[in-house]
Amino acid sequence: MRFVLTEDQRDFGGSLDALLSGADTVGAARAWAEGDTAPGLELWRRLAEQGVNALVVPEEHGGMGATAVELVVAFEALGRHGVPGPWVESAAYLPLALADADLLAALAEGAVGTVAEAAHAPYALDAEVADHVFSCTGTTLRTATRGERLRSVDRTRHLTTLVAGDPVPGADLGAALESAVLATSAQLLGCGERLLDDAVAYVKQRRQFGREIGSYQAIKHALADVRIALDFARPLVLGAALGEVPAAAAKVACADAAYLASRTALQVHGAVGYTQELDLSIWITKVRALVTAWGTPAQHRAALLETLVAAAGTPVEA
Partner 1 sequence: MDLSLSESELAFQAEARAWLAANVPAEPLPSMDTEAGWKAHQEWEARLAEARWAVVSWPREYHGREASLVEWVVFEEEYYRAGAPGRVSQNGIFLLAPIIFDHGTREQQDRFLPSMATGEQVWAQCWSEPEAGSDLASLRSTARRDEARGGWVLNGQKTWSSRASFAHWGFGLFRSDPEAQRHAGLTYFLFPLDADGITVRPIAQLDGEAGFAEVFFEDVFVPDSDVLGAPGDGWRVAMSTAGNERGLSLRSPGRFCAAADRLVDLYRSTVADGATPAATETAPAHVVDAWLRAQSYRLYTWGTVTRLAAGGDMGTAGSVNKVFWSELDIALHETALDLLGADAEVESRWLDGYTFSLSGPIYAGTNEIQRNIVAERILGLPREPKGAGR
> By the criterion CB under 8 A, which residues form the site for partner 1?
1-6, 9, 69, 196, 200, 203-204, 211-212, 214-215, 217, 219-221, 223-225, 227-228, 231-236, 238-239, 242, 244-245, 249, 252-253, 298, 301-302, 304-305, 308-309, 311, 314-318
Is 70:183 a contact under the CB 8 Å cutoff?
Answer: no
**Minimum distance, C-beta of residue 159 to partner 1, in the bound complex (Å):** 27
CA atoms within 13 A on the CB side of 258: 32
For partner 1, the closer CB: 99 or 308: 308
Q: Is the dihedral of CA 100, 106, 109, 114 positive or negative?
A: negative
Q: Which is nearer to partner 1, 67 or 152 (CB)?
A: 67
What minimum distance in Å lies between the beta carbon of 44 and partner 1? 27
In whole angstroms, what is the distance from residue 149 CA to residue 130 CA? 14
For the CB of residue 6, give the shortest distance to partner 1 in the complex, in Å: 6
The residue (of 232 and 274) whose beta carbon lies closer to partner 1 is 232
Q: How many Å apart are CA 173 and CA 94, to the nearest integer?
A: 9
Q: Which is nearer to partner 1, 5 or 171 (CB)?
A: 5
Whichever of 263 and 301 has its CB closer to partner 1, that residue is 301
Closest approach, Cβ 62 to partner 1, in A, equals: 25
Taken in order 240, 3, 47, 158, is the CA torsion positive or negative?
Answer: positive
Going by C-beta distance under 8 Å and a sequence separation of 6 or more, which residues neighbour residue 183?
Answer: 71, 72, 75, 87, 88, 91, 92, 93
Q: State the DSSP code for 98.
A: B
Give min distance, CB of 49 to partner 1, in A: 25
